[in-house]
């Protein structure tokens, strides 16, 4: 079932809602949408879980306003979805940019109604290097990416698709992956990347109290594995699950392992 949910006056986001049981709310990576998780839907529904996939504002079928691509606003959109669907006992699952957005959600709204946190290839705690943080992208690298998006977005998405995965993918798969990115607004992609460049959730990690699993590819070229180790060290009650043969797109590089670890985490009473 699909829902269009108004998150603020004149702005609706699209939400896929499939299955029954405990809700697992997925926050997708830049610059894709909830279809990126299509291979997780079946295993979740078959194991008694409810897939909730949000297309963040600016992406997929959602509206694409000029404003609102900071982490605070996107976390507020998630809160509006949770409230509209009256979700409880939610597993909040953030992938890449969805990771720091999920962390910001907990920082702003607490963990009432949230039972677990799953961070997948998370662009956190800081996507970019800082004076006191040596991991992640250089600010100049992000600025170059923004420039390339503005100059030739289809070409940049083609290059991004080839970098995203460690395991070889068919031309048809890469074309599908690129098509997900082309559904995004060009301005949405740029404004979100600016947020990724500027935002920093390091100070919000030690307040996370829900059981947390960190899934991360050892060969991730977008968000280096060192980011996952930083998250593990800073988040109480967290466990790090490495994916040794995966790049950034670990749910497609090692799908069987990913789904098995996902179901194991969801069913576990403790991490």
CB 54 within 8 A of CB 93: no
Assign 269 a pLDDT band (cuts: 50, 70, 90): confident
What does the pLDDT look like over 204-215, one tens digit per residue?
999 999 999 999
Its CATH architecture, for the domain 2-267, is 3-Layer(aba) Sandwich (3.40)
Which is more confident, 1 or 265?
Answer: 265
Per-residue pLDDT at 1: 83
Q: What is the mean pLDDT of residues 91-117?
A: 98
Residue 233 class from Cβ within 10 Å (0-12 exposed, 13-18 middle, 19+ buried)?
exposed
CA 2/CA 119 separation, integer angstroms: 24
Per-residue pLDDT at 154: 96
State whether the Cα torsion 163-154-169-91 is positive or negative.
positive
Active site residues: 96, 220, 248
What does the pLDDT look like over 238-258, one tens digit per residue?
999 999 999 999 999 999 999
Which long-range contacts (C-beta less than 8 Å, at least 24 apart) are formed by 140-143? 142/193, 142/196, 142/197, 143/197
What does the pLDDT look like over 107-156, one tens digit per residue?
999 999 999 999 999 999 999 999 999 999 999 999 999 999 999 999 99
CA 43/CA 262 separation, integer angstroms: 9
Assign 270 a pLDDT band (cuts: 50, 70, 90): low
Assign 169 a pLDDT band (cuts: 50, 70, 90): very high
CB 222 within 8 A of CB 248: yes
Which is more confident, 2 or 270?
Answer: 2
Task: Check whether 2 has a pLDDT greater than 80.
Answer: yes
- For 57, list phi and psi in degrees, rounded to 5: -50, 135
Q: What is the mean pLDDT of residues 179-205?
A: 98
Angle at the Cα of 226 (from 225 to 228), degrees rounded to 5? 70
Domain boundary assignment for the chain: 2-267
């Amino acid at each position: 079932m699909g829902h269009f949910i108004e998150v603020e006056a004149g702005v609706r986001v699209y939400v896929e809602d499939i299955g029954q049981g405990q809700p697992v709310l997925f926050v997708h990576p830049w610059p894709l949408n909830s279809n990126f998780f299509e291979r997780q839907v079946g295993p979740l529904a078959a194991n008694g879980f409810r897939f909730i996939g949000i297309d963040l504002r600016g992406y997929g079928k959602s509206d694409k306003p000029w404003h609102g691509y900071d982490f605070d606003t996107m976390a507020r959109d998630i809160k509006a979805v949770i409230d509209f669907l009256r979700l409880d006992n939610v597993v909040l699952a953030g992938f890449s940019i969805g990771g720091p957005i999920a962390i910001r959600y907990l920082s702003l709204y607490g963990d009432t109604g949230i039972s677990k946190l799953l961070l997948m290839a998370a662009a956190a705690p800081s996507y970019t290097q800082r004076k006191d943080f040596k991991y992640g992208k250089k600010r100049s690298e992000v600025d170059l990416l923004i420039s390339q998006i503005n100059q030739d977005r289809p070409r940049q998405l083609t290059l991004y698709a080839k970098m995203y995965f460690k395991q070889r993918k068919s031309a048809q798969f890469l074309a599908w992956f690129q098509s997900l990115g082309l559904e995004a607004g060009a301005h949405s992609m740029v404004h979100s990347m600016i947020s990724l460049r500027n935002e920093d959730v390091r100070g919000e990690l030690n307040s996370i109290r829900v059981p947390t699993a960190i899934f991360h590819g050892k060969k991730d070229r977008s968000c280096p594995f060192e980011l996952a180790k930083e998250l593990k060290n800073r988040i109480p009650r967290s466990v790090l699950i490495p994916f040794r043969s995966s790049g950034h797109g670990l749910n497609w590089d090692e799908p069987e392992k990913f789904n098995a670890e996902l179901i194991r985490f969801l069913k576990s009473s403790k991490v």
